[in-house]
């Protein structure tokens, strides 16, 4: 049953407030920033995967007219980058991956910088590299880091509930191995940093990012500045997909160059350099085991993963943990065991793709679930529904799922996809599959707090300005925040202007990751708007002769509940509040911090059915249709939610079927948009969007995330559909490229003959 809707802005189809600006090319991105006297920075990168630097001679480059500075590790002593401060900004004496930063130049223009780069002379002693995770694990393999024996960066086992007992007592155990390939997030806006560090106590950085705050936290200490002395301007961020979670060497380098030259410096990744700068998925090998009883009860899941973290693994292990943990967000397990060994190789440091490791792990789990359902003679949707958690469920690692519409989602996709007419009845090489998934809306843990704050200022004309630090990287969060503000104040969303993306102007916000935006920042914005409303309510209540808490703000009017005819104009109340004896200027403040110690309050849940057709001669998989039902708590903006679905279905299809960085001896062979095969609009399936509104008790107006819950679920659904199209055959490797599919087709043909 839909929730009673007494809302006037939320739930309406609101076009992006910055849509016209974006479409007409007026939005400013970091690369558009052009400061007086700005220099062009370029980075010299190692052509070797593993080498000792014997000598660097920069004298010829320095002598080139137009070159203003040349720096190397000697200029960045002790400066550590990376998410956990594990990665020196420049290679000092040892190079551990191709593309590693060796030196950098600031010159008057790009041409001079390019020329100067060619003039730096570096003498290397090449060392044997380990380029593939399998090789890194072999006895006697060269070590990436001398103090990491066996190239193991970390090895963690987490056990929740009683996994051993569950596996021992279960009727059946299913086990399968899966693996993933190296990827790139391939956002529209390549990596770029513009830094002005010409005053000793002020560093300003323009860059696309998912978090201004974490960048302040990293850059401040590195340059002897406090957090507020570092200003991050992330005007617009051209896509992120989990790939812009933190500071990278080029940010530090731009700052070093700016400080040294006393001029602003811009560094941008050119073409194939982008593939070395980015931090996305590395190779992962999973062994998945599922324990079930004959009655269809899933008892436990056990994931054993090897994850290639590259030369500086940072937090790969944490994301592996999420990839195992999330199984207990959809199934009421008796036990969940997850082991992650993070392995080092002489390759680009890896991080995570859109959907984290959850997309590929879910692709594995949903193939397995389809297999189990088939083995038990069960319909896969029935089987998942039997095992789906419900609201009120307590998870094994302490989660409490306050709202959950997973079963309703399954019912919707069964009906809307025509599942009952199709499953088991489609012709050969035509498949249908179901996937389920869940996603945390915010995951407290990076700091003691997970705070977002917001300010609302109301001009005397009634126009509202909202100040928020949440980055908009295409997901449309700024429009969402304007809608929340407008709902509280009873005005239209387009009467709210959003000021964002500048840490000097906006209050704290941890950032746009871990799907925290709508819930954490949304609550902060709601609180700020409520604060402002309270100030106006005092004035309005007096004029209306009503109680403050009886007032309704709606449609630009303020009135007492039940008496809309006797109303005040919102803008006039604002005007009157200022033009009064008190002279009050209305400004609301608010912040929100999750009431939990760690983790999350709210999860989104979803089910999807995908239909695919395989060409058994070419191995090409066409995704025909994806039916999506998602419990987002409350739909704030249907347009944005549908857009999130379309984008994530695309991304999941792309990652699952297409994306792979190919390499030979550590050289990336396809570092371009042309050769890194992402599908295009032609490949888009038909999508139908359905929402379940469970009105979460924590989210603003009951809303939960819609940032990655979809992509993870689509991954499962498409994988299950491919499995079905192949007559119940696993595809063990992502991406499921045509040649891999073809191998499975051949295997199937052979077994049919035998």
Q: What positions carry a catalytic annotation?
A: 708
Q: Which two tokens stand for residue 98?
A: 């191709």
- The residue from 679, 695, 727, 728 that contacts other proteins (CB under 8 A) is 679
Cis peptide before 735 (omega within 30 of 0): yes
- Segment lying near other proteins (by CB under 8 A), choices 42-50, 221-229, 369-377, 448-456: 42-50
- Cα 547 to Cα 549: distance, rounded to the nearest angstrom: 6
- Cα 463 to Cα 451: distance, rounded to the nearest angstrom: 26
| Site for other proteins contains 617 (CB under 8 A) | yes
- Cα 565 to Cα 234: distance, rounded to the nearest angstrom: 45
- The residue from 563, 580, 618, 751 that contacts other proteins (CB under 8 A) is 618
Min dist. Cβ of residue 668 to other proteins (A) = 8
| Site for other proteins contains 684 (CB under 8 A) | no
| Site for other proteins contains 750 (CB under 8 A) | no
| Site for other proteins contains 682 (CB under 8 A) | yes
Identify whether the C-beta of residue 208 lies closer than 8 Å to the C-beta of residue 200: no
Using left for φ > 0, alpha for ψ between -120 and 50, and beta otherwise, residue 501 falls in left
- The residue from 670, 695, 727, 728 that contacts other proteins (CB under 8 A) is 670
- Cα 332 to Cα 387: distance, rounded to the nearest angstrom: 7
Min dist. Cβ of residue 235 to other proteins (A) = 25
- Segment lying near other proteins (by CB under 8 A), choices 80-88, 160-168, 270-278, 713-721: 270-278
The interface with other proteins within residues 105-134 (CB under 8 A) comprises 110-111, 114, 117
Min dist. Cβ of residue 272 to other proteins (A) = 5
- The residue from 377, 680, 753, 754 that contacts other proteins (CB under 8 A) is 680
Write the interaction track for other proteins spanning residues 392-421; mark x where CB under 8 A is met and - where it is not: ------------------------------
| Site for other proteins contains 686 (CB under 8 A) | no
Query: Among residues 454 and 614, whose Cβ is nearest to other proteins?
Result: 614
Min dist. Cβ of residue 91 to other proteins (A) = 15
| Site for other proteins contains 667 (CB under 8 A) | yes
Closest Cα partner for 227 from 255, 203, 251, 210? 203
- Cα 80 to Cα 21: distance, rounded to the nearest angstrom: 38
Q: How many CA atoms lie within 13 A of 367 on its CB side?
A: 28
Rounded to the nearest 5 degrees, what angle is found at the Cα of 131, between the Cα atoms of 128 and 133? 125
Q: Is 524 exposed, middle or buried (0-12, 13-18, 19+ CB in 10 A)?
A: buried
**DSSP string of 215-275, one letter each residue:** HHHHHHHHTT--GGGEEEE-S-----TT--SS--HHHHHHHHHHHHHTS-EEEE--TTHHH
Min dist. Cβ of residue 167 to other proteins (A) = 39
| Site for other proteins contains 271 (CB under 8 A) | yes
- The residue from 2, 6, 24, 739 that contacts other proteins (CB under 8 A) is 739
- The residue from 16, 45, 279, 289 that contacts other proteins (CB under 8 A) is 45
Min dist. Cβ of residue 18 to other proteins (A) = 26
- Segment lying near other proteins (by CB under 8 A), choices 355-363, 583-591, 663-671, 702-710: 663-671
Query: Among residues 118 and 228, whose Cβ is nearest to other proteins?
Result: 118
- Cα 462 to Cα 495: distance, rounded to the nearest angstrom: 8
Q: Is 159 exposed, middle or buried (0-12, 13-18, 19+ CB in 10 A)?
A: middle
CB atoms within 10 A of CB 156: 13
Identify whether the C-beta of residue 74 lies closer than 8 Å to the C-beta of residue 150: no
Query: Among residues 517 and 685, whose Cβ is nearest to other proteins?
Result: 685
Min dist. Cβ of residue 669 to other proteins (A) = 4
- The residue from 428, 675, 686, 749 that contacts other proteins (CB under 8 A) is 675
| Site for other proteins contains 47 (CB under 8 A) | yes
CB atoms within 10 A of CB 47: 16
Per-position b or e across 353-379, b if 16+ CB within 10 A of its CB: bbbbbbbbbbbbbbbbbbbbbbebeeb
| Site for other proteins contains 658 (CB under 8 A) | yes
Q: Which two tokens stand for residue 528?
A: 């700020």
- The residue from 138, 228, 672, 751 that contacts other proteins (CB under 8 A) is 672
- The residue from 121, 669, 686, 697 that contacts other proteins (CB under 8 A) is 669
- Segment lying near other proteins (by CB under 8 A), choices 394-402, 500-508, 638-646, 669-677: 669-677
Closest Cα partner for 605 from 692, 476, 689? 692
- The residue from 674, 752, 753, 754 that contacts other proteins (CB under 8 A) is 674
- Segment lying near other proteins (by CB under 8 A), choices 138-146, 301-309, 320-328, 662-670: 662-670
Query: Among residues 38 and 532, whose Cβ is nearest to other proteins?
Result: 38
The interface with other proteins within residues 272-291 (CB under 8 A) comprises 272-273
Closest Cα partner for 687 from 718, 666, 660? 718
| Site for other proteins contains 55 (CB under 8 A) | no
Q: Which two tokens stand for residue 513?
A: 């990751």
Q: What is the rounded radius of gyration, in angstroms, for the C-alpha atoms of the chain? A: 27
Q: Which two tokens stand for residue 66?
A: 């137009």
- Cα 653 to Cα 607: distance, rounded to the nearest angstrom: 16
- The residue from 98, 339, 516, 690 that contacts other proteins (CB under 8 A) is 98
Query: Among residues 580 and 672, whose Cβ is nearest to other proteins?
Result: 672
Residues in binding contact with other proteins, number by CB under 8 A:
35
- Segment lying near other proteins (by CB under 8 A), choices 132-140, 247-255, 574-582, 678-686: 678-686
Query: Among residues 113 and 610, whose Cβ is nearest to other proteins?
Result: 113
3-state secondary structure of 585: coil
Min dist. Cβ of residue 452 to other proteins (A) = 39
| Site for other proteins contains 224 (CB under 8 A) | no
Write the interaction track for other proteins spanning residues 450-469; mark x where CB under 8 A is met and - where it is not: --------------------
Residue ranges of E strands in 58-199: 67-72, 80-81, 87-88, 94-95, 101-107, 121-126, 152-161, 172-179, 192-199
Residues of the shown chain interacting with other proteins in the complex, contacts defined by CB under 8 A: 45, 47-48, 98, 110-111, 114, 117, 270-273, 617-619, 658, 662, 664, 666-667, 669-672, 674-675, 677-680, 682-683, 738-739, 742
């Amino acid at each position: 049953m839909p929730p009673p809707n007494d809302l006037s802005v939320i739930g309406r189809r609101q076009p992006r407030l910055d849509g016209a600006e974006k479409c007409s090319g007026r939005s400013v991105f970091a690369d558009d920033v052009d400061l007086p006297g700005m220099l062009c920075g370029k980075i010299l990168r190692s052509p070797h995967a593993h080498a000792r630097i014997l000598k660097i001679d920069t004298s010829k480059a320095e002598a080139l007219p137009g070159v203003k500075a040349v720096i190397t590790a000697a200029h960045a002593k002790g400066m550590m980058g990376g998410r956990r401060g594990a990665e020196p900004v420049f290679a000092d004496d040892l190079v551990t991956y191709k593309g590693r930063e060796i030196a950098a130049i600031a010159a008057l223009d790009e041409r001079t910088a390019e020329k100067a780069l060619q003039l730096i002379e570096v003498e290397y002693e090449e060392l044997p590299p380990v380029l593939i995770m399998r090789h890194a694990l072999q006895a006697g393999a060269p070590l990436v880091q001398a103090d990491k024996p066996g190239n193991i960066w970390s090895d963690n086992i987490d056990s929740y509930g009683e996994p051993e007992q569950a596996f021992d007592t279960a009727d059946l155990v299913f086990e399968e191995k899966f693996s993933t390939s190296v990827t790139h997030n391939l956002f529209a806006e390549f990596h770029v940093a513009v830094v002005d560090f010409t005053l000793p106590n002020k560093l300003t950085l323009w860059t696309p990012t998912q978090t201004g705050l974490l960048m302040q936290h990293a850059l401040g200490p590195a340059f002897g500045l406090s957090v507020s002395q570092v200003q991050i301007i992330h005007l617009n961020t051209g896509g992120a997909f989990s790939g812009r979670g933190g500071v990278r060497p080029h940010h530090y380098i731009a700052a070093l160059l700016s400080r040294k030259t006393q001029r602003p410096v811009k560094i941008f990744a050119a073409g194939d350099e982008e593939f070395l700068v980015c931090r996305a998925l590395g190779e992962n090998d999973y062994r998945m085991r599922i324990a079930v009883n004959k009655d269809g009860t899933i008892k436990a899941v056990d994931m054993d993963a090897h994850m290639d973290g590259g030369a500086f693994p940072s937090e790969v292990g944490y994301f592996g943990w999420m990839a195992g943990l999330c199984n207990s967000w959809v199934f009421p397990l008796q036990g969940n065991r997850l082991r992650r060994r993070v392995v080092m190789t002489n390759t680009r440091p890896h991080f995570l793709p859109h959907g984290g490791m959850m997309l590929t792990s879910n692709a594995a789990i949903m193939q397995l679930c389809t297999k189990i359902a088939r083995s038990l003679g069960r319909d896969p949707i029935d089987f998942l529904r039997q095992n789906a958690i419900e609201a009120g469920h307590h998870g094994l690692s302490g989660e409490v799922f306050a709202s959950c519409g997973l079963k309703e989602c399954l019912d919707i996709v069964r009906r809307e996809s025509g599942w009952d007419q199709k499953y088991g009845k489609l012709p050969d090489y035509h498949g249908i599959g179901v996937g389920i998934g869940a996603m945390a809306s915010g995951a407290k843990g990076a700091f003691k707090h997970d705070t977002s704050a917001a300010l609302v200022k109301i001009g005397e004309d009634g126009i509202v300005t909202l100040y928020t630090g949440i980055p908009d990287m295409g997901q449309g969060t700024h429009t969402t925040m304007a809608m929340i503000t407008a709902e509280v104040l009873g005005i239209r969303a387009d009467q709210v202007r959003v000021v964002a993306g500048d840490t000097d102007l906006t209050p704290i916000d941890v950032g746009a990751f871990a799907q925290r935006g709508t819930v954490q920042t949304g609550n902060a914005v709601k609180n700020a708007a409520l604060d402002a409303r309270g100030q106006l309510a005092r004035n309005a209540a007096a004029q209306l002769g009503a109680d403050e808490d009886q007032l309704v703000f709606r449609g630009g009017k303020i009135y007492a509940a039940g008496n809309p005819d006797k109303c005040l104009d919102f803008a006039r109340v604002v005007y009157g509040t200022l033009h009064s004896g008190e002279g009050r200027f209305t400004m609301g403040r608010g912040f929100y911090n999750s009431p939990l110690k760690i983790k999350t309050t709210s999860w989104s849940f979803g089910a999807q059915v995908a239909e695919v057709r395989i060409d058994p001669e070419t191995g090409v998989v066409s995704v025909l249709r994806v039916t999506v039902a998602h419990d987002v708590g409350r739909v704030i903006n249907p347009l944005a939610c549908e857009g999130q679905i379309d984008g994530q279905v695309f991304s999941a299809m792309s990652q699952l079927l297409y994306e792979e960085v190919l390499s030979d001896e550590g050289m990336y062979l396809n570092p371009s948009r042309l050769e890194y095969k992402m599908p295009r609009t032609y490949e888009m399936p038909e999508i139908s969007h359905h929402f379940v509104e469970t009105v979460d008790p924590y989210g603003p107006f009951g809303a939960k995330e819609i940032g990655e819950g979809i992509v993870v679920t689509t991954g499962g659904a498409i994988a299950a559909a491919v499995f079905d199209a192949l007559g119940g055959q696993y595809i063990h490797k992502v991406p499921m490229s045509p040649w891999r599919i073809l191998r499975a087709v051949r295997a199937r043909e052979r077994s049919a003959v035998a």
